[in-house]
Amino acid sequence: MIFPRVKESEFDCLNLSITVPRASLDQHTPKVPVLVFIHGGAFVGGSLTVRVGAREIYDGYGLVRSSISAGLPIITVTINYRLGPLGFLASKELAAFNSSYNEPVGNYGLHDQRQALLWIKTFMGGFGGDADNVTIYGTSAGGASCHYLSIFPERNFKRAIISSATLFGIGAMPVEHRQSTFDDFKNQFAADSEDVIKTLQDVPVQKFVSTVMMSGCAPILDGEWISESALHGRPDDDDPPDLMIGSCNYEVR
């Protein structure tokens, strides 16, 4: 299917796209499984509306149509999440600021994904989806995201398919390792400010994200949702998700 180009917006970006078999909208039909796709892009790029030519490559129409033809209908959902500095910037200053609001530091893009899964858990039944049979699937940074979500203390999915990246491939680092990236933004936009956080918040978003520091745009060890012990597995996790992990021979070349 060919869609009109999506308008970019600072405030209308945390959205999702749902592709549903028409029959599933009938309240008398059985609930069907839900597949949630998380796009890649090294945590600095990508979107659920990425295009090749005039086609959205993550459009779920073809997959849902094939599932219907096979007699195993599913619903597909693709999601957006914050990227780059808006999604993963972290520092001691941000840690103190967030702590004053009882919020964890960094990993905002992963929390966007977590919130999308909570929305799906809450509302997918209205679209004919089985909220207790949700599979998440991602490639590259999206695959790593699926792996990170699988160790979060709160989950709203049953299984994860992880392609071309894991949490060990795009490893979380302590906040201190991201400080230099924050300092670069501070020196560029708030060098003489007495309130660095407020000054950075007032920078126009397009100007802010035009300077993307690749090394600082990735998950961190926040001590709450991602900890060193969690990376070695949660011994108290009595209901871990099923995992399918795959890679391609030439993906690192």
> CA 167 to CA 5: how far, in whole Å?
33
In total, how many domains does the chain have?
1
Structural domain containing residue 141: 16-84+106-172+222-246
* Beta strands, E only, 47-175: 51-52, 55-56, 75-79, 129-139, 159-163, 173-174
What's the pTM value of the predicted model, to 2 decimals? Answer: 0.90
Q: Decide if 4 is inside a domain.
A: no
Q: Which residue has the tokens 């969690």?
A: 230
Helix, strand, or coil (residue 4): coil
Q: Give pLDDT tens digits for 104-157.
A: 899 999 999 999 999 999 999 999 999 999 999 999 999 999 999 998 888 999
Identity of the residue numbered 239 = D
Write the CATH number for 161: 3.40.50.1820
Q: Does residue 1 carry a pLDDT above 60?
A: no
Q: Give pLDDT tens digits for 178-188.
A: 899 999 999 99
Encoded tokens for 148:
């990170």
